[in-house]
Structure 1
């Protein structure tokens, strides 16, 4: 089984696997559906996404609801692992591959979505800090 990593940006998702396969889809509902179809043919131990300031939230919820083993990883931790493996360059495709390596090597706690009241409280706290 592969580890799968997804580098999330505002407009697109770059997907990479430990065996070198890649996919690029839009960060939208139609892109999520295409990703779900692709993932059905690529079983994974874990699917790891970086925390990217909220852009990852819709795809996290979608993958969780679809029954995939999805994880949100700390961005600094993922970057340090990539550097430790000798990956100095930083592109979306390379980041997806590094996240796939993280998925294969490190057992991370599964994503659990927040309750609606918890999400609302988080928004209030974020607004207050700003």
Structure 2
């Protein structure tokens, strides 16, 4: 990943999307419902991200991913195992939604998914 690229990492739960923007360090949360997703899409579009990375969480990520795709935003759904492994590799032992969002924002899942068969 280039240092000037903007990555957005999203930690997804049933009720909430926790969103981290890298490299700015901005963070915000929205409800994981159509209204919250609309707010997130509008706010993320303003930063013109190079990629939006969202962890696969048993289909809870799909409403956001579909909305981002329909809005023309560069969305990547990341394998949860890769997210967990990356966190572990960095020594990240604490677990909060905010930390998870920033870990996801640091990933380069595009290479992971482009190389899968």
TM class, shorter-length: 0.7 to 0.9
Structure 2 SS opposite 1:44 = coil
CA-to-partner distance for each residue in 1:104-126, whole Å, 9 max, x for gaps?
x453448xxxxxxxxxxxxxxxx
Q: Distance in 2 between matches of 1:60 and 1:6?
A: 10
Number of aligned pairs? 108
Divergent runs of 4+, >6 A:
none
Kindly indicate which of the two structures has a greater share of residues assigned to helix.
1
Cα drift, residue 25 of structure 1? 0.3
Q: CA RMSD in A?
A: 1.5
How much does 1:40 deviate?
2.0
1:85 counterpart residue number: 90
Deviation string, structure 1 residues 81-122 (Cα, Å, up to 9, x no partner) = 1221221111111110000000xx453448xxxxxxxxxxxx
Question: Structure 2: 5+ residue runs without aligned partners?
Answer: none
Unaligned runs of 5+ in 1: 111-130
The 2-side partners of 1:84 and 1:41 are apart by: 32
Shift of 1:41: 1.8
